[in-house]
Amino acid sequence: MPLYRTGIDMFKKWQKKYNPTVIGTRFTDVTDVATERAQAGLNYVHTVRELVRPILDEYGITGGLKATYLAFALALWRHIVRSKGEAAKKIASGLKSYFVTSYGLDPAVCDEIINVVVGWAIPY
């Protein structure tokens, strides 16, 4: 018979696991590594945004919708750097379908974003 943890059980574990003194020491120990990784990651985020902004400006996309297209581009980049070849194409196609269906993005704009971020278009 499985034993399910209650909310109180999970909270008690969280209290023991996240001792501020221990966490502070861990953060201090890894500050240099974390800073380098953050800088590298934020540079990639900036690069992706700079690649996508001209496309959005060309289509006259502004406001909250612009943020949604940028979120698509960043999600695409995050997955593509981990996968290559056919796997990357399937992921890009799935992300495009998700963002088009869920958020009403224009598939043609998404294709241009895929082309500029990844360097290839999804064949249909």
pLDDT digits (tens, 9 = 90+) for 80-111: 888 888 898 999 999 999 999 999 999 999 99
- CA-closest candidate to residue 51, choices 39, 43, 62, 41: 43
- pTM of this prediction exceeds 0.85: no
Residue 15 confidence (pLDDT): 85
Q: 42: which 2 tokens?
A: 């934020």
123 pLDDT higher than 60: no
Q: Domain residue spans in the chain?
A: 7-118
7-118 classified as CATH 3.40.50.970? no
Q: 80: which 2 tokens?
A: 């593509």
Residue 4 backbone phi and psi in degrees, to 5 = -95, 135
Residue 22 backbone phi and psi in degrees, to 5 = -65, -45
CA–CA distance, 84 with 96 (Å, rounded to integer):
17
CA trace torsion 24, 28, 33, 36 (10° rounding): 90
Q: What are 23-62's pLDDT values in tens digits?
A: 889 889 999 999 999 998 899 999 999 999 999 999 999 9
124 pLDDT higher than 50: no
